[in-house]
Amino acid sequence: MLFAGKVVVVTGGAAGIGRACSEAFAAEGAKVVIADVDKERANAVVRTLQDKGQTAIAVPTDISISADVARLAQAAVDAFDSIDVLVNNAGIQTYGSVITTDEEIWDRTINVNLKGLYLVSKYCIPHIKAHGGGSVVNMASVQGLASQKNVVAYTATKGAIIAMTRTMALDHAKDNIRVNAVSPGSVDTPMLRWAAEKFVPENPEVAVQDWGALHPLGRVGKAAEVAQGVVFLASEKASFITGANLVIDGGLTIGI
């Protein structure tokens, strides 16, 4: 198993890509710390993993709040003595241009998607360093590379995450910590389904199919497909990869 005995913290680890990451790391022998703002959902995922004989705990966390994040890092160390891998996955999707985006929505998007990544890294990386090194994987998006209309706050955070990943990789290479990003295209998750209902409330599946058709492979991705990329980057199979951005988008960004 790739992560036998390793401790992996996954933010937003109870739904969508985050849940798929929690499941994938647990299947590879990791002790998984599921940080999620939804306590009941996180506990349900933990029970599912434990029923398979896997090891996991849930830590209710709002990653935009420093005290919550400090408690998360301490809970991981109290339960499992160390942290080896951090997956900065938690995030929210918001819509609007600079004109139509309310300041409150702008601030919330920045606080969760960007400040949250900063805080979780700030509190968890020292524990990774103390244990001899490890890996950080940041969840970005193709929206950080190319964009659509009316996603200004979300796109700003995802572009920033890609840039942060590069500087974090430089900052922590000396500590034997690799830092990489993953940029998914459209992926079938609760967030995508929420967006589909927002845009085509009478038939959300039409939106999902339309978004899938934009990808050369002709469909939206699966959360498990993204999770496998995350597991790879976090593993020793990627031991000479740092500062990279792995695009998992069914070919969405290769066309002109």
Beta bridge partners of 7: 31
Q: Which listed residue (95, 118, 123, 154) is catalytic?
A: 154
CA angle 191, 85, 71 (to 5 degrees): 75
**Residue 84 and residue 128: Cα distance in Å, rounded?**
5
**Residue 248 and residue 58: Cα distance in Å, rounded?**
28
What is the C-alpha radius of gyration for the chain, rounded to an integer number of angstroms?
17
Answer yes or no: 123 catalytic. no
Closest CA to 94 of 247, 198, 208, 165: 198
186: Cβ contacts below 8 Å, ≥ 6 apart: 192, 211, 212, 214, 215, 220, 221, 249, 250, 252
Q: Which residues are catalytic?
A: 154
